[in-house]
Amino acid sequence: MHRLKKIFATDSYIVPIVAIIMGFLVGAVVMLIGGYDPIAAYSALFKRVFGSPYDFGEAVREMTPLMFTGLAVAFAFRSGMFNIGADGQVLIGMTAASVVGIKLAGTPSFLLVPLAVIAAGLCGGIWAGIAGYLKAKRGINEVITTIMLNWIALYLSNYIVKHFLLLKGQNRSVDNPASLSMTFLNSLFDNARVHWGTALALCAALFFYVFLWKTKQGYEMRAVGLNPHAAEYAGMNVGRNVVKAMFISGAFAGLAGAGEVLGVFHYQSIFAASPGYGFDGIAVALLGLTHPLGVILAAILYGMLTYGSAGMSFGADVPPELIRIVIGSIIFFIAAQGIVRWVLKPFYFKRKKEKVL
């Protein structure tokens, strides 16, 4: 009975693994209906990711911002908040890192890089903290405020780049000197854009776990997320925890922006639309069951599928958009866990019966 409960527990990793398999099967069925070879398509996808050191490095680069934004969404969710504004917080983090890196050019790199990264995290946290403050003090729904702050962040970041950082004649900022020390192991990955943000994301996941499950403040945040009225009755400051949770959530997203502008592009573009990192982070957080380890694994899978989808197009003549069906199917089965449990149930009882006999 204990084993049965473990298999059907909400946070069991058997459910997402089966959901991933079912998502790939749904994608294969769709490919067959469209007249494509799913085996060739998936082979081309994984060959694209693991076929060369450069491609593997670029896949790691694709995973990194998803780790940060997935952690941002998951941390807010664990604290009872819905952070739909990670995209705007990424942009604010990018802009902060750009301003510090460019305006403090000439500062030694061992100081400039940490300053730019810290500025990105702080500004991303403050940006998310605005929504937390409005929630705590005015009761304004954070879903609305974070969505609106996405647009404000987009236009504000474009304004700052255009009027203070612009490279003359180009639609981007000047090169960021801090980016020179952000990349690493490039020779090992054939000059792929691997950067220190990946290691920082893993440290952020460790902080997520330790802070939420091993500290008093983390306990209060989780208590507020589970039942704010009970937490208030127990003497916890609900409003303060809400603001603090959103600040930490936004800091994670801001660090994603620092990694992109310093480790990948080395400058900041003027965006016509939001880059989409935050919205992908929602999918990663859901796929990872809002647990830091699950988020890291989900970001790895999501990044592999996203980067490898180009291989499906070139290697198997399959539209790369089909990978979105696979990702959407996986998320669907994660959300509809009753379907996965229904699929698992007969296999479990069959094995149990065999052991009894």
Distance CA 183, CA 180 (A): 7
Token output for 13 = 């990793």
Which pLDDT does position 11 carry in this prediction?
Answer: 45
pLDDT given at position 237: 93
Q: Which two tokens stand for residue 307?
A: 């980067």
Residues 6 or more apart in contact with residue 279 via CB below 8 angstroms: 86, 87
pLDDT tens for 27-45 read 899 889 888 888 988 898 8
Query: What is the per-residue DSSP string for 250-317?
Result: HHHHHHHHHIIIIIIISS-B--SS---HHHHHHHHHHHTTT-HHHHHHHHHHHHHHHHHHHHHHHHH-
pLDDT the model gives residue 354: 53
pLDDT confidence of residue 348: 60
pLDDT at res. 355: 53
Q: Compute the C-alpha angle 134/119/178, nearest 5°.
A: 150
CA 248 to chain centre: 14
In the prediction, which pLDDT does 258 show?
Answer: 95
Only one residue has tokens 């405020």, namely 145
**DSSP-H helix ranges across the chain:** 2-7, 14-33, 38-50, 53-78, 86-103, 109-138, 142-160, 197-214, 216-226, 228-233, 238-258, 277-287, 292-316, 322-335, 337-356
> pLDDT, tens digit, for every residue of 304-337?
988 988 888 777 788 877 888 888 888 888 777 7
Amino acid 67: pLDDT:
97
Question: CA 321, CA 41: separation in Å to the nearest integer?
Answer: 12
Cα 207–213–218 angle (5° rounding)? 80
Q: How far is CA 195 from the centre of its chain?
A: 16
Residues lower than pLDDT 50 in the chain:
1, 4, 6-11, 356
Separation between Cα atoms, residue 66 and residue 192, nearest integer Å? 18
CB 63 within 8 A of CB 227: no
Do residues 79 and 208 make contact, with C-beta atoms less than 8 angstroms apart? no
Distance in angstroms (rounded) separating the CA atoms of residues 39 and 28: 8
**The residue count for the chain:** 357
Q: Are 47 and 315 in contact (CB under 8 A)?
A: yes
Cα-Cα-Cα-Cα torsion 331, 37, 322, 297, nearest 10 degrees, comes to 40
Alpha carbons 341 and 319: distance in angstroms, whole number: 32
Q: What is the pLDDT of residue 4?
A: 45
Residue (of 105, 83, 111) closest to 254 by Cα position: 83
Question: CA angle at residue 67 from 66 to 70, to 5 degrees?
Answer: 75
Output the pLDDT for position 13.
Answer: 67
Model pTM score = 0.90
Separation CA 247–CA 130 (nearest Å): 8
What are the structural domain ranges in the chain?
67-280
Q: Is 319 left (phi over 0), alpha (psi -120 to 50) or beta?
A: beta
Q: Which of 76, 84, 121 is CA-nearest to residue 221?
A: 76
Of the candidates 301, 287, 320, the residue with the CA atom closest to the CA atom of residue 63: 301
C-alpha closest to that of 179 among 269, 266, 64: 266
| pLDDT more than 70, % of the chain | 92
